[in-house]
Amino acid sequence: MVRAAFRAAGKSEAFEFTRVESMADGTRGKEDRNEPPDDEAALSARLQRLGERLDSASRPSENVTGPRSAADASAYARGFRMSTELVAGVVVGALIGWLLDRWLGISPWGLIVFLLLGFAAGVLNVMRAAGVVRENRLND
């Protein structure tokens, strides 16, 4: 009742006027008696809802928030991250290929194969960083 009246209060002056009139004709006493417990119930309900919202806001949502969404603090940092990821993949591939060539004497095949693999790894890194491909987790 209190809440209904409260909600209606914002709607129109005319409605407000009739409500006040109806309150004046004898039912007022009864309403006054009901008001404190009703108000307290509403208050405790609101407190509970607030508590729930605070909980859900402060609790780390481990499965909802992916690691990537937090990483893109700004577009600049994000762009830089992508480029380094790609370059890193290619560099690692080239390095491994070159070392294999030197150790096994299979030049230039190691470099050719691992450069291509490294490029693929770099692209994979970039796609992970961009969130196109899901992060490969153990628990998936």
Partner 1 sequence: MAVDPIEQFQIHNLFPIATIGHTDIAFTNSAAFMLAAVAVITAFLVIGTAKRALVPSRLQSAAEIAYEFVATTVRSTAGSEGMRFFPFVFTLFMFILTVNFIGLIPYTFTVTSHIIVTAALAVTVFLTVLLYGLYRHGLHFFNLFVPKGVPIYILPLIVFIEILSFISRPISHSVRLFANMLAGHITLQVFASFIILMGGAMGAIGWAGGVLPFAMIVILIALETLVAFLQAYVFAILTCIYLNDAIHPGH
What residues make contact with partner 1 under the rule CB under 8 A?
60-62, 65, 67-68, 70-71, 73-74, 76-77, 80-81, 84-85, 87-89, 91-93, 96, 114, 117-118, 120-122, 124-125, 128, 135-140
Longest dimension (CA), the chain: 104
Quick one: 5 or 94, whose CB is closer to partner 1? 94
| In the complex, least distance from residue 129 CB atom to partner 1, rounded to whole angstroms | 9
Say if residues 101 and 110 touch (Cβ distance below 8 Å).
yes
| In the complex, least distance from residue 121 CB atom to partner 1, rounded to whole angstroms | 4
Task: Tell me how crowded residue 35 is: count the other CB atoms within 10 A of its CB.
Answer: 12
| Exposed / middle / buried, residue 122 (Cβ in 10 Å: 0-12, 13-18, 19+) | buried
| In the complex, least distance from residue 98 CB atom to partner 1, rounded to whole angstroms | 14
Quick one: 24 or 70, whose CB is closer to partner 1? 70
Quick one: 5 or 95, whose CB is closer to partner 1? 95
Direct distance between the N- and C-terminal alpha carbons of the chain, in angstroms, rounded to an integer: 51
Quick one: 14 or 61, whose CB is closer to partner 1? 61
Task: Tell me how crowded residue 131 is: count the other CB atoms within 10 A of its CB.
Answer: 14
| In the complex, least distance from residue 45 CB atom to partner 1, rounded to whole angstroms | 29
Tokens of 33: 């008696």
Alpha-carbon Rg of the chain, whole angstroms?
A: 33
